[in-house]
């Protein structure tokens, strides 16, 4: 690290600005899923009472996760105890730390709250939200967020953060009012499978940027290939899967897997203000030789076919026409997981100073080969890929393939 210092100047709970109901709210099946009982960390970089006002609407987030009436069925107790909030000051500008481009020039522990028991006597997995605002000498600030996945998915978390921005800009209520309605998500009697064993993979951290024009050209190629439209996510994920498979240099018959989560809001016709988890996995697998022997456009076909199957598989899950846990995952080096942050809404948050320069997760683990796709930081135009999906021995070939036809 470069020797810059971050000092916390205040910390403690922020409670709803007005009285809220005292009740225990059940969580949906997908909210209760064991792997969602954890805090997702993210960082939101900007060139700033609103929190408490937003919590008056999203009051369950000011509560605590407790065990429900049935074993293994956690719920949220609306206690109005508040969220952990810290303010900090850095002795440098955002430019000094390269706008927190990777590798970080400040420890992430200085930017995201990790209070000890003496300051926050709540178990992390029972805490719903922690937030830290760090001000820099240039006038910019970074919001470090830890959000419990059991309470909301990425779109729901972004809905809350946008509501904080609405209140900060002087609105009397959020533009999108929250609704709970967790009973609208299916509650089948399917038991979650056992937690998977996590390998240690020692993955490289790679950042890649793709201009909008480049992705638009790939989408036009797919339209010419199939007569159908596809998304930038589709073409970028197809390129990722093929380039990674080539870099791994596997046996031709080796099975390679790709997984990402898709929203089911449209399938359930959920209200716009619904902020609970409303996701379902899209999975596909193929022999390495098929992924490598196909054109990029043919790999896009495979991805779109899996997306089309998702609706059928979701309703089979909802109607208990299967006893298999669709959320059960396999974490090995042949499998890759892709997360799309580009349309969640974090990049549109405005506290009165305009949208963030960058908003994205602080994830860098050594047990899940994963990629996050999100908007490139300003002033860049296009899409950024944060990849922790190959080991050092495979990273050079992977990067070469991903950059092969970039302008």
Strand 64-67 relative to strand 74-77, pairing: antiparallel
Number of Cα atoms under 13 Å in the Cβ half of residue 244:
27
Residue 370 burial (CB < 10 Å; 0-12/13-18/19+)?
Answer: buried
Element (H, E) at 402: helix 392-403
d(CA 93, CA 157): 28
Which structure tokens are listed for 242? 């093929």
In the chain, how many H helices and how many E strands?
Answer: 8, 15
Choosing from 36, 44, 149, 394, the catalytic residue is 149
Strand partners, 269: none
Strand-by-strand arrangement of the 64-67 sheet: 24-26, 74-77, 64-67
The verdict on whether 350 is a catalytic residue reads yes
Angstrom CA distances, 370 to 95, 237, 260, 320, stand at: 29, 11, 10, 30
Residues 309/293, Cβ–Cβ less than 8 Å: no
In 3-state terms, what secondary structure has residue 26?
strand
Which residues are designated catalytic? 149, 350
């Amino acid at each position: 690290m470069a020797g810059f210092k971050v000092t916390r100047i205040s910390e403690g709970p922020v409670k709803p600005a007005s009285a809220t109901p005292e009740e225990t709210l059940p969580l949906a099946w997908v909210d209760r899923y064991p792997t969602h009982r954890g805090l997702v960390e993210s960082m939101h970089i900007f060139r700033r009472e609103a929190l408490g006002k937003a919590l008056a609407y999203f009051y369950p987030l000011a509560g605590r996760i407790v065990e429900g009436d049935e074993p293994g069925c956690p719920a949220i107790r609306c206690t109005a105890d508040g969220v952990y909030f810290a303010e900090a000051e850095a002795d440098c500008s955002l430019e000094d730390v390269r706008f927190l481009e990777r590798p970080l020039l400040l420890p992430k522990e200085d930017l995201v709250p990790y209070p000890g028991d003496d300051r926050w006597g709540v178990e992390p997995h029972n805490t719903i939200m922690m937030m830290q605002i760090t001000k820099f000498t240039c006038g910019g600030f970074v919001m470090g967020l830890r959000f419990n996945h059991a309470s909301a998915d990425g779109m729901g978390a972004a809905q809350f953060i946008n509501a904080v921005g609405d209140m900060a800009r002087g609105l009397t209520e959020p533009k999108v009012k929250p609704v709970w309605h967790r009973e609208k998500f299916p509650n089948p009697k399917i038991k979650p499978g056992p937690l998977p064993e996590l390998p240690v993979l020692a993955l490289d951290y790679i950042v890649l940027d793709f201009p909008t024009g480049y992705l638009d050209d790939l989408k036009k190629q797919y339209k010419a290939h199939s007569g159908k439209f596809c998304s930038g996510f589709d073409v970028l994920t197809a390129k990722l899967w093929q380039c990674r498979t080539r870099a791994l240099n596997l046996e031709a018959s080796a099975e390679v897997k790709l997984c990402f989560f898709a929203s089911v809001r449209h399938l359930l016709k959920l209200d716009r203000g619904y902020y609970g988890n409303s996701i379902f996995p899209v999975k596909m697998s193929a022999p390495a030789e098929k992924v490598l022997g196909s054109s990029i456009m043919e790999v896009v076909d495979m991805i779109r076919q899996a997306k089309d199957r998702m609706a059928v598989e979701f309703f089979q899950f909802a109607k208990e026409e299967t006893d298999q846990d669709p959320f059960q995952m396999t974490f090995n080096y042949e499998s890759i997981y892709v997360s799309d942050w580009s349309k969640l809404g974090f990049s549109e948050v405005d506290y009165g100073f305009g949208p963030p320069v960058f908003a994205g997760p602080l994830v860098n683990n050594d047990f899940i080969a994963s990629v996050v796709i999100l908007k490139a930081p300003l002033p860049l135009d296009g899409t950024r890929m944060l990849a922790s999906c190959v080991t050092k021995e495979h990273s050079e070939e992977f990067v070469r393939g991903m950059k092969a036809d970039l302008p």
